[in-house]
Amino acid sequence: MREKFPAAGRGEIFAWCWYDFSNSAFVTVVITVVGGVFFTRNICGGAPWAEFAWGCVLSASAAMAMVAGPFLGRWTDHRASKKPALVFLTVLCVAGTFAFGWPRLGMVGAMGALVLANCAFLLGENLVAAFLPELAEPGRRGRVSAYGWAFGYVGGLASLALALRLIGEGGSEAIRSVFSATAAFMFLAALPTMLFLRERAVPGQAQSAEPGWRAILRTVQGHPELIRLLLGLAASLSGLSAVVGFASIYASREIGFTLEGTVKLFVCLQVAAAAGALLTGSWQDRAGTRRVLLGSLAVWGAVSVGAFLSRSPQSFYGVAALAGLAMGWMQSAGRAAVADLTPPGREGELFGLWGFAGKLAGIVGPLLFGGLVTLFGMRASIILNGVWFFLGAVLLARVQWRNAGASVEPAGQ
C-alpha cells in the first residue's frame, strides 16, 4: 500500500538516479578492474590459490544476497522500510570498501570486508530498483529506468578515471588509496538518494502469520507471468554475465588486445551501454516491453556471431560497441518490466525475486561458459553461449503483459 504522496518530480527521480551512479563505482573499480588484481597480488602475494579465493569471495557474497533478497524485500514491504534499509546497506558497502584497502587487515579480514561490501551492494541494488514503481506510472517506467542505468554507466567511468589517476602515482600505497577514494566517491554520490528519495509505502495492514519462505513460495507458484518474465531474464542474463566475465580474457587471448587496449575497450563498452539505455527507454514506453526485450536479445545474437568472426582489434571494437548497446538496452528494460508486473505494497519482495534471478544468472552463466571453454575452446564457446539469448527470447515471448500485474495480489489482501 502507498499513501497519497504527490507524484515524483524530476528532482526526486534525479536523486534516485544518483544511486546507480554511486553503486557503479563499486562494481567497476572494486569488482571488475582493480579489486581482483589487488587481492590476488597484494593481499595473497600471488599465491597459486589466489584466484580461487577471489572467486569464492564473490560467489559466497552473491549466494548470500541471492537467498536474503526476497526475505529482506518482504520484510521492508511489511514495515514500509525500504529507505532505512537502503541507507543501512549503503553505509555497510562503503565501510567494507574502505576497510578492504587497510594494510593490516590481513587476508581473512579483507575477504570478510569484501563479502560484506558485495552482499550489501547486491541487496541495495534490489531495494533501489523497488522504488521504480512508486516513482513512475506505467508508460514512463522505461525512460526513468533508462535514466538511472545511463547515469550509472557515467558513474562507472568517472570512478574508473579517479582510480587510474591514483594508480598512476605508483606503489602499493597508491593502489590501497583507490579503495578509500572509491568509498568516499560512493558515499557522496549516494547522498542525494539518501536525503531526497521518499518512502511512499505504508506498513502492511494484514501481515500473514505464515513463514516468510512459504509466502515467497506461494508468490512463485501463483503468478506464472511473473515467473516467465524472471526465467526469461535469468536465461538472458546468464549469457550476458558470461560475456562480461570473459570479455577481457577473450579480447587478449583471441584478438590480441594489450592491457591498455582492454581498458579502452571497457570504456567503449560503458559509453555504448549508456547510449543503449537512453535510446531505448522511451521506445519501451511507446512500443511495449515485449518488443524492446526481444529486440535486445536479437542484438545479443548478433554480438555472439560478431565476436566469433572477429579477428582484429578494429573489428572487435565494433562488437564491443554493439554489446554495450545491447547490455544497457536489456538491463534497463528488464528492470522496468518487473516494475510493470509489481502491484502496490509488493515492491520489495518482487524485486528481491528479480535480484535472485539476476544473481543466479551471475553464478550459472560464467560457470557454464568456463566449462564450455575447457571442452570446446574460447571461440566456439562464444557461439554456444548465444543459446542463452535464444532461450531467453522463447521464455519472454510467452509472457502475457496485458493485465499481468493484476494477477499479483497487493500486499495485505
Beta bridge partner(s), residue 201? 2
Is 254's pLDDT higher than 50?
yes
pLDDT digits (tens, 9 = 90+) for 32-53: 878 888 888 888 888 888 878 8
pLDDT digits (tens, 9 = 90+) for 111-152: 999 999 999 999 999 999 999 998 988 888 999 999 999 999
**Radius of gyration in angstroms for the set of CA atoms belonging to the chain, rounded to a whole number:** 21
Average pLDDT over residues 334-351: 86
CATH topology of domain 223-400: Growth Hormone; Chain: A; (1.20.1250)
pLDDT at 187 (0 to 100): 98
Dihedral of alpha carbons 337, 71, 203, 200, sign: negative
Mean pLDDT of all residues belonging to the chain: 86
The answer to whether the CB of 305 falls within 8 A of the CB of 358 is no
Give 252's Cβ-side CA count (13 Å radius). Answer: 11
> What CA–CA distance (Å, rounded) separates 322 from 303?
7
CA-CA-CA-CA dihedral for 70, 350, 273, 98, to nearest 10:
-30
Helix axes 50-79, 212-222, angle to 10 degrees: 90
Q: Which residues, including other chains, have CB under 8 Å from residue 6's CB and lie 6 or more apart? A: none
Beta bridge partner(s), residue 2? 201
pLDDT digits (tens, 9 = 90+) for 228-247: 899 999 999 999 988 887 88
- For the record, the C-alpha cell of 306 comes out as 560478431
Grade residue 171 by pLDDT with cuts at 50, 70 and 90.
Answer: low
Residues in the chain: 413
The answer to whether the CB of 61 falls within 8 A of the CB of 113 is no
Residue carrying C-alpha cell 518482504: 74
Distance of CA 289 to the CA centre of its chain: 19
| Amino acid at the residue 95 | A
Is 175's pLDDT higher than 60?
yes
pLDDT at 300 (0 to 100): 95
Domain 8-198 has CATH 1.10.10.60: no
More confident of the two residues 392 and 207: 392
pLDDT at 406 (0 to 100): 40
What's the CA angle centered on 196, arms 195 and 200, to 5 degrees?
Answer: 115
pLDDT at 158 (0 to 100): 94
SS (H, E, C) the chain: CECCCCCCCHHHHHHHHHHHHHHHHHHHHHHHHCHHHHHHHHHCCCCCCHHHHHHHHHHHHHHHHHHHHHHHHHHHHHHCCHHHHHHHHHHHHHHHHHHHCCCCCHHHHHHHHHHHHHHHHHHHHHHHHCCHHHHCCCCCHHHHHHHHHHHHHHHHHHHHHHHHHHHCCCCHHHHHHHHHHHHHHHHHHHHHHHHHCCCCECCCCCCCCCCHHHHHHHHHHHCHHHHHHHHHHHHHHHHHHHHHHHHHHHHHHHHCCCHHHHHHHHHHHHHHHHHHHHHHHHHHHHHCHHHHHHHHHHHHHHHHHHHHHCCCHHHHHHHHHHHHHHHHHHHHHHHHHHHHCCCCCCHHHHHHHHHHHHHHHHHHHHHHHHHHHHHHCHHHHHHHHHHHHHHHHHHHHCCCCCCCHHHCCCCCC
Among residues 26, 32, 22, 48, the alpha carbon closest in space to that of 113 is found at 26
Among residues 244, 253, 245, the alpha carbon closest in space to that of 377 is found at 253
The answer to whether the CB of 187 falls within 8 A of the CB of 94 is yes
Is 301's pLDDT higher than 80?
yes
Average pLDDT over residues 65-73: 92
The ranges of the chain annotated as CATH 1.20.1250.20 are: 8-198, 223-400
